[in-house]
Amino acid sequence: MSKIDPQAIQNGDRLALSRALTVIENDDPQSLEIQADLFPHTGQSHIVGVTGAPGTGKSTLVNQLVKAFRQNKSETKPPKVAVIAVDPTSPFTGGALLGDRIRMADLSGDKGVFIRSMASRGALGGLAHNTAAFATILDAAGFDMIVIETVGAGQAEVDVAQLAHTVVVVEAPGMGDDIQSIKAGILEIADILVVNKADRPGADNTARTLKVMLDMAQNSSNLPAGKHGTSNSDHLFQDIYIKQETWKPPVHTITATEGKGIAGLAADIQAHRAYLQDTGVWQIKEAHRLRRDLDALIRDKLLQQWQQALDQEQFEGVLQDVIERKYSPIEAANLLVHDKTK
Ligand SMILES: Nc1nc2c(ncn2[C@@H]2O[C@H](COP(=O)(O)OP(=O)(O)O)[C@@H](O)[C@H]2O)c(=O)[nH]1
Ligand SMILES: [Mg+2]
């Protein structure tokens, strides 16, 4: 691929922007250079994660939200908004992703809106990393807001959601047992909760259930930091602790297909941004996010270096010894890693 000019991206050149995102998706050698060039020009965008089970109406909701932000007459200059649709459940361009493109088509004539689906090659470890890289490029390109739509399914999606300054968790009535799984993983990271499909029976019930769960989750995580294991999770918990001290996640009941309740949600997303900035939690979140990024990258790099220097034969021998219970896995790891750093 011919060289992409980072300045063109900053100047708002759409073609350069699209090509840069493709370079990242393909892990092209240019990827690192572009990110390095653009990183100093980032830190301005409000990153909003929208997550929840497939079919809850996230894409419909995002479409309406973007329209609301773009048409907000109370602002002198409407924010430029970029949307990243991440859907690891559809690795190819069929299914949900194609549907998203069609649904979001009515936004495509707007120069202040940029929409991009991110194909996932099933490499879940790379999902969070690529999404972060996408956000870096879009931030440098001058988007005031970056909305990331992601399926709330596993740890990778939680990681993606944690990229965001503001996390919106979307539920729909009648999802039954899903509420249990959401409680376990996703509820803790929600800054705002949405019960979509309020035109369906049971929406009020779901909203009530979520409010109860939210209270429970809040009470159980209001523990002093330091009770939660490793130093990294301490940082995370401190973060959540601060967040929950002063921000109580609101629950919105919405009918996305009709645009009902969207204005209130849009206002709360803005309010959350203002809250983060006024309290300084914005900077704390940024610092934690960058620390997590750096930690993950260093881990990858060290593992790679170690693997490159690895004597495969020795490894197989030690593994065999572990299988035969001559070494414990911990002893084996000490042996293999210490040998390499001598
Ligand atoms: N009845 C009803 N259906 C909705 C609403 N919002 C979205 N849907 C429908 O739910 C289906 C899934 O929506 P989609 O936005 O693709 O969900 P996603 O998988 O979470 O992105 C589509 O058929 C939408 O038209 C709503 O508020 N009420
Ligand atoms: Mg979708």
Task: Note the pLDDT of residue 73.
Answer: 63
Segment 17-26 mean pLDDT: 91
By CB atoms closer than 10 A (0-12, 13-18, 19+), residue 167 is buried
Tokens found for residue 186: 């996703």
Give the confidence band of 109 by pLDDT, cuts at 50, 70, 90.
confident
Task: Note the pLDDT of residue 224.
Answer: 46
CA of 56 from ligand 2 middle (Å) equals 8
Q: What percent of the chain has pLDDT over 90?
A: 45
As a whole number of angstroms, the distance between CA 116 and CA 105 comes to: 12
As a whole number of angstroms, the distance between CA 287 and CA 133 comes to: 16
- In the chain, CATH 3.40.50.300 sits at 43-280
Task: Note the pLDDT of residue 46.
Answer: 97
User: Over 50: is that where the pLDDT of 11 sits?
Assistant: yes
* E strand spans, the chain: 46-52, 81-86, 113-118, 145-151, 166-171, 192-195, 251-253
CA of 196 from ligand 1 middle (Å) equals 8
For ligand 1, whether the C-beta of 196 sits within 6 Å is yes
Q: What percent of the chain has pLDDT over 70?
A: 75
Give the confidence band of 16 by pLDDT, cuts at 50, 70, 90.
very high
User: Over 90: is that where the pLDDT of 71 sits?
Assistant: no
| 84, 86, 257, best to mutate for ligand 1 pocket (most atoms within 8 Å of CB) | 257
Q: Which of 13-27, 90-104, 228-242 is the most confident on average?
A: 13-27
CA of 99 from ligand 2 middle (Å) equals 8
For ligand 1, whether the C-beta of 256 sits within 6 Å is yes
For ligand 1, whether the C-beta of 117 sits within 6 Å is no
CATH number assigned to the domain covering 43-280: 3.40.50.300
Closest of 27, 79, 5, 56 to residue 269, by C-alpha = 79
One-letter amino acid for residue 71 of the chain? Q
Task: Note the pLDDT of residue 175.
Answer: 60
More confident residue, 173 or 39: 39
Q: What does pLDDT average to over the chain?
A: 81
